[in-house]
Structure 1
Amino acid sequence: MCTGIRFTDSNGSMYFGRNLDWTQGYGERVVVTPPAAQAPAAFERSGDLDAKHAHAVIGMGIIAEGVPLYFDCGNDAGLAVAGLNFPQSARYAADPASVVAGDSEQEAGPSTSSKRRVGAVGADRGSNPINVAAYEFPFWVARNFATLDDAREALGRVTVVAKPVSPQLPVANLHWMIGDATGSVVVECLEGGLRVWENDVDVLTNEPDFGWHRQNLRNYLMLSGAEPEAAMWDRARLAPFGSGMGLQGMPGDYSGPARFVKAAFVNSHYPVQDTEGANVTRLFRTLASVAVPMGAAQMPDGSFEITLYTSCFAAASLTYYHATYSDPQIRAYRLAAYDLGGTEPFVAQAA
């Protein structure tokens, strides 16, 4: 289970964050990858940026086989991406797509529809197909693109391949949320193909697919943060007990559908804030409304899912914030505080 959100402040600057919910951690730490890092790619890709033009990346993850495996991250241009669990519906390609001789790159451009189906999983993607292993998808996005529009354009040629980084780390079934100051999209590899959804509610959780979640919100359009008016039942006047009763019917469990509804409501109704401190508080408070406590979500083996950490990427200051289940103190990692001249990803210390 996981929940991701995005919003902008009064100046139009983006804040992007997530809860990571699971039964155990993986030794994840805040990782910084300099532009010149020699992280090996899963496939040969001629379009990847070189060391002089690639973006610096900061976020939560682990380093395996010299590759930064980001759970979520942001880059020096203010673009952010997060991977969330999608265990039932994710369908990756078994093999990379191949180049079709004679095709022009222009012919492989993406659709401009608000719901883009940009090619079948595992199908040929036209000229210069972009093969990306699922494990490297967040890093590939953050390293190579400055804007959401740039990422959208490239996704028209992407095939996500079920290739593990090592035999010890199996492929995780995920879908992804990508955002910048202009908005966000959800990327899903479904049975019928890779699909890019325009995310007008700036929220993502888990199963089912994003299209289902977006339609399901219509079941809750009567929710309101306002105190309801008193009602007359014949001669009886029924007054509300107090504020908050406009949210009667809000789902309160920790399933993906319930968390999506609650996070979408809180995220959209939270008053716009001005300062970075107030907006970091907004993000952590919003995600706290769907955070999973010990004992509420038991797995078949008897273990419990909990919110292992909450993170926030502030695009204006390029600062990554996070707090953990056992240590709720929010720590800050400012990208500018680190030496970005190296050639290897490294674990960062709080600034």
Structure 2
Amino acid sequence: MCTRVLWPDANGAVLVGRNMDYHRDLGTNLWKLPRGVVRDDGVEGALSWTAKYGSVVAAAFDMISVDGMNEAGLAGHVLWLAESVYGEYDPERPALSQAVWLQYFLDNYATVAEAVEWMESTGAQVVQLTDPASGEVPAIHLALNDASGDSAIIEYIDGAVEIHHSPEFRVMTNSPKFDEQLELLARFEGFGGDAPVPGTTNAPDRFARAAYYVSRLPEPTSQLAAIASMFSVIRNAAQPFRNPDPGKPDASQTIWQIVADQTNLRYIFESTTRPNIVWVDFADLDFSEDSGQGVIDLGGKLALEGGLAGNVSGHFEEGRTLNFLTLSIVKQLAAAKKAASA
């Protein structure tokens, strides 16, 4: 499920791109989330906070932040990792549901270093949730990157968190876990080995291809050229329309992709099934506490032939709230399903 690529030296700007690969439509919309919103962990409510930073996020089913950037230039990206094992829930430790894992960092931190320090000092854990629509239980890892070009990959393996923190960690895909991906990368030309750059859609091959091409991008002459360059890399790592591999929802087609300029604060979204590219400029947005949440209904407006295109910063509509999936909702749905079948 997906490829993430960081380019920290794009003509004085830090850019990141990611593909979202999945076997079905995620009902993705763009949300503007202001400062001052009170949220909790989505588990038992033991951890709560008030958003310090406003953000723009791409949300799946309007229940989970899967990608986004805050007004300080911190961006995050949720990808699939089948090896993820989060361990048994421990009520004595801070915990975040998968639905708010990314949002917690966007709400609270400006830099990767701050986020990593919180993870390491608290021993925070992640709690899996069940997708109420499909019954799938996501297995995910998280990439964070900031406006300085710093980067961290956060994974839970055998119940313990593994954090890979360095500006050198520019690429993330899926299986195997990150340290093993680095070992596999060493086989290829330009990274210590002599094997040619691979061309399949397998995660290690996408990892190698993205790492190879992002390291060879020409110096851009403008922000537009930099954005186009990043799109060229993530499109090279995209997966064509295809039937998913059995039992592997991550081995599926690319359904959308983003490029975010973390220096100039522009967030660009492209659907692979819609005709137009749209973007949001943070300078055009009001993130103040009383500004309200706003949503751009991408499924409706982008689906129209000749629909939304270009700068859509003025198209966020109020009146709806991003309600994150919580453990209580999962339990309620499970109880209702059990009662219905009795």
- 1:41 and 1:165 mapped to 2: Cα distance? 16
Q: Report the equivalent of 2:294.
A: 346
Q: Normalised by the size of structure 1, how large is the TM-score?
A: 0.75
- Contact kept? 1:20, 1:308, Cα under 8 Å: yes
> Where does residue 221 of structure 1 map in the other structure?
189
1:300 paired residue among 238, 246, 256: 246
Task: Tell me, yes or no, if structure 1 residue 206 matches structure 2 residue 136.
Answer: no
Q: Which residue of 2 aligns with 1:235?
A: none
Q: Distance in 1 between matches of 2:247 and 2:119?
A: 38
* Structure 1 outlier segments of 4+, above 6 Å: 301-304
**2: CA distance, partners of 1:21 / 1:62:** 12
Q: 2:273 and 2:108 mapped to 1: Cα distance? A: 34
Q: Cα offset for 1:305?
A: 2.1
- Counterpart position of 1:184: 151
Cα shift at 1:347: 1.1
In 1, are the aligned partners of 2:189 and 2:195 still within 8 Å (CA)? no
Q: In 2 relative to 1, CA 176–161 (structure 1 residues): closer, same or farther, beyond 3 Å?
A: closer
State the alpha-carbon separation in 2 of the partners of residues 334 and 317 from structure 1.
8
Name the structure 2 match of 1:101.
none
Cα pair distance change 1:290/1:60, threshold 3 Å: same
Flag the 1:93–1:167 CA change in 2: closer, same or farther, 3 A: farther
What is the RMSD computed on CA atoms of the aligned residues? 2.8
Aligned to 1:36: 36
Whether the 8 Å CA contact 1:134–1:163 is kept in 2: the answer is: yes
Report what 1:3 is aligned to. Answer: 3
Aligned length: 291
Is the Cα contact below 8 Å between 1:93 and 1:159 reproduced in 2? no
State the secondary structure of the residue aligned to 1:220. Answer: coil
For the 8 Å contact 1:9–1:279, the answer to whether it is kept is no
SS at match of 2:84: coil
The Cα shift of 1:14 comes to 1.4
Question: Contact conserved, 2:152 with 2:169, CA < 8 A, in 1?
Answer: no
Q: C-alpha separation between the residues in 2 aligned to 1:166 and 1:221?
A: 40
- Cα shift at 1:312: 1.2
In structure 2, distance between residues paired with 1:223 and 1:132: 36
Aligned position for 2:58: 60
Instruction: Return the alpha-carbon distance in structure 2 between the equivalents of residues 285 and 265 of structure 1.
Output: 12
User: Which residue identity lines up with residue 124 of structure 2 in the other structure?
Assistant: T
Which whole-Å CA distance do the structure 2 matches of 1:166 and 1:255 have between them? 25
1:17 is aligned to 17
CA distance in 2, matches of 1:45, 1:56: 23
Cα drift, residue 165 of structure 1: 7.8
Rounded Cα–Cα distance in structure 2 between residues aligned with 1:186 and 1:178: 7
**Does the 8 A contact of 1:223 with 1:248 survive in 2?**
no
Q: Is residue 124 of structure 2 the alignment partner of residue 159 of structure 1? A: yes
Question: Residues of 2 paired with 1:210 and 1:139: CA distance?
Answer: 22
Task: Tell me the secondary structure at the aligned position of residue 60 of structure 1.
Answer: strand
The structural deviation recorded for 1:315 is: 1.4
- Provide the rounded CA distance (Å) in 2 between the counterparts of 1:166 and 1:292: 23
Partner of residue 195 from structure 1, selected from 147, 151, 162: 162
CA deviation string 1:180-231 (max 9, x = no partner): 123211000001510101352400000000000111111013579xxxxxxx
Structure 2 gaps, min length 5: 298-311, 314-342
Moved more, 131-140 or 157-166: 157-166
Task: Indicate the percent of aligned positions where both proteins have the same amino acid.
Answer: 21
Is 2:139 aligned against 1:173?
A: yes
Alignment correspondent of 1:77: 72
Q: Does 1:261 align with 2:261?
A: no
Structure 1 residues 274, 56: closer, same or farther in 2, change over 3 A? farther
Counterpart of 1:174, as a letter, is I
Q: Which residue of 1 aligns with 2:84?
A: 90
3-state DSSP of counterpart to 1:142? helix
- The answer to whether the 8 A contact 2:32-2:57 is kept is yes
Answering whether residue 248 of structure 2 is matched by residue 285 of structure 1, we say no
Map Cα deviations across residues 120-175 of structure 1 (whole Å, 9 max, x no partner): xxxxxxxxx43222221110111110111111111102432324388557541101
CA contact (8 A) 2:185 2:191 kept: no
167-176 vs 18-27, greater mean Cα deviation: 167-176
Q: 1:313 to 1:197 in 2, by over 3 A?
A: same
Contact 1:2 1:205 in 2 (8 A): yes
Deviation at 1:96, TM superposition (A): 3.3
Q: Please give the alpha-carbon distance, in whole angstroms, between the structure 2 residues aligned to 1:302 and 1:80.
A: 26
The answer to whether the 8 Å contact 1:73/1:81 transfers is yes
Q: Structure 1 regions of 5+ residues with no counterpart?
A: 99-128, 225-246
C-alpha distance in structure 2 between counterparts of 1:15 and 1:348, whole Å: 23
Report the AA paired with residue 305 of structure 1.
Answer: S
Q: Distance in 1 between matches of 2:197 and 2:11?
A: 31
Rg larger in 1 or in 2? 1
